[in-house]
Structure 1
Amino acid sequence: MSGDSRTTWHVPQEDLRAYAQGELAPPMLWSADTHLAACARCREALAAVSDPLALDAGWERLDAELDVPRPGLVESLLVRIGVADHTARLLAATPVLRASWLGAVVAVLMMTVVAAYSMRVATSPSLFLALAPLLPLAGVALSYGPALDPTYEMAVVSPTHGFRLLMIRTVAVLTVGLGLNGLATLALPSYGLRALAWLLPALALTGTGLALTPRLGPVLAPSLVGGAWVALLVAAQATAEGHGTLAPFTAAGQGVAAAVAALATGLLYLVRDRFDASRLPFTDFSEGGAG
C-alpha cells in the first residue's frame, strides 16, 4: 500500500470512528495506522468523522503539558526520596529555602561563632545563644507570608487545609534552620552542652509565634515574640551584671522554655482550624495588620 492508486482496501467507517475516539484495539489499530500513512482518502474520511472539539482538547492538553515548569534540583530530590509531587513543589517554592536566605543565615551564624571565640572570657557563648533561636522564628514567619511566598495565591485558593500547608512549610524550614544551627554549634566544642542551650528557646519562640498568628497575623505575631525574647535577654543581662550564664540558658530557664514550647504546641493544635485560608484574613497580612 504505497499510495491511493494501488490501495484496494480502506478502513471501514466504524473503525475510523473508533480510531478517532481512541477506542480501536490491536491488531486493527496497527493495520489502520499503517494504512492511514499511505491512504489520503482514509485520512480525509478520518478528518470528517473526528470530533473537532476533542481534537482541540487534545492540543490544549499537549500545550499544558509542554508549559509545565520542569522540576528543579531540590524538587527532584524530594520526589526521589518519596515526597509527593504536590508537596515537593510546595516545599521547593518556599522562599526561605532558597540560596539567598540560607547564605544569609550561614553568614550570621559564622559571625556569631567568631564573636563567641573572640570573647572566651564568658562562661557561655551568649551572643550565639541569643541569636540562634531567632533564626528559625524568622524563617517560619517568612515562609508563608504573601510578600515573599510565590505560591501565596495558590495556597489561598487551595482546597488543602491551611494548617496542613503551614505545617509542611514549618517542618521544612525548622529542619533546615535547626540543622544549620546545629552545625554552628559543633564549631563551639569548648562550651560542651551549654552550646545547645538555644534549642529549647528556638522551639518555644517558633511555637509561640505560630500559635499567635491566627490572632495577630504572620508579621505582627513573630515580631512581638522576637521583641519579647530580646527584652528578656536585656533584662537577664542587667540582672547578671555581665557575670555568669544568662537566666534563659540556665537549667531553670531551659525548663521554662520547654514548658512554653509544650503550651504553644497545645495552643497551636487548638487553633488549627483558624489557619484555613478561606476564613483567615490573609489579605491584611501584607500590611502587617492583625487578623
Structure 2
Amino acid sequence: MSEYTERMDSATEGFVAHRNLLFTVAYEMLGSAADAEDVLQETWLKWVSVDLDAVQDKRAYLVRMVTRQALMRLRTLGRRKESYLGPWLPEPLLTSPDVAEDIELADSVSMAMLLVFETLTPTERAVFVLREVFALGYDEIAEAVDKSQAAVRQIAHRARSHVAARRPRGGVSQAEIRNALEAFQRAAQTGDLQSLLTILAPDVVFLGDGGGAVQAALSPIVGASHVAPLAAGLARYGAGALQLAQINGHPALLLRVDGEIDTVIAVRIDDGLITGLYAVRNPEKLSRVERETTVSR
C-alpha cells in the first residue's frame, strides 16, 4: 500500500467517524441541510491536505474546521435571506425517535430553537452552539472563531442571555407537543375553529415558507383569530392527509398532496399553548423529509 493511499485511508476514517457530529454542528449554525453538506464537502477537501500526524484530537480539529467554513457560509446565507421572498424557515429534517432521548440535542435542532439562533450574530451563534450544545472548551472555541478566550467568554455570556430570553418557556415535553399537534390536527381537519382557538395562544405567529416557488404567506400572520382559519384551510387543502412525524427531534405534521409531501408543519409551545406555527412549503427544503437524517453530539 502506498504512502498516499495510507494517508487517504486515515483521513477518510477520521472524517467518517465524526461526520454526523460535523453535519449537526454545521446544520445548527446554518439552519440549512444543503449548506451544511456543502460545508462538509469544503471541510473534507481541506482535511485531506492536513498533516494528520500533527493532529492530536481529530474530533476537535474537524469541529474547528467545520465552524470556520460554516461562519464563512453564514455570511453568504445572510445575503440570500435578505432577498428571500417571504419568511425564511430552517430546512426540516426527518430525525430518528432516539434523538428525542437526548433532550439538549433535540432542543438545539428544533425549529423553534433554530429560529432563536437566527437572532444571534454569526459569531454568537457559533460560540453558543459549540459551548452549550457540544461542550467545547473556551480555548477550542477561541481557535475556531479566531477570538481570544476572554472575548469568547463574553460572547458566550451575551449569547446565553439572548437565547434564554427568547427560547420556548416551560420545558416543553415531547408528549405535550404531540398532544397539541393531535388536537390541532383534529380541529383543523373538521374545520372546528373554536377548538383551534383553545390551543392557539392569542398572539400566535404563523410563518409560511414557500421560497417564491409555491404559494405561501409573504409576511407573518399574527393572532389566533387570523391563524385559526388559515390553519383550517391548510388542512382542508391537504384533503385530510396530515400525519405525525418526528421532525428536528420533535413531533410535527406532514401534509401530503397526491402522496407527495407538500408542507411540513412544526410548532412552538409556551405554557401549553401554540405560540408559533411554522409551515415549510418550499420544495427545495423538503427533500430531507423523505429520508432520515442522523444528528448527533
- The structure carrying a bigger helix percent of its residues is 1
Higher relative contact order (CA 8 A, sep 6+): 2
Provide the TM-score with structure 2 as the length reference.
0.24
Larger Rg: 1
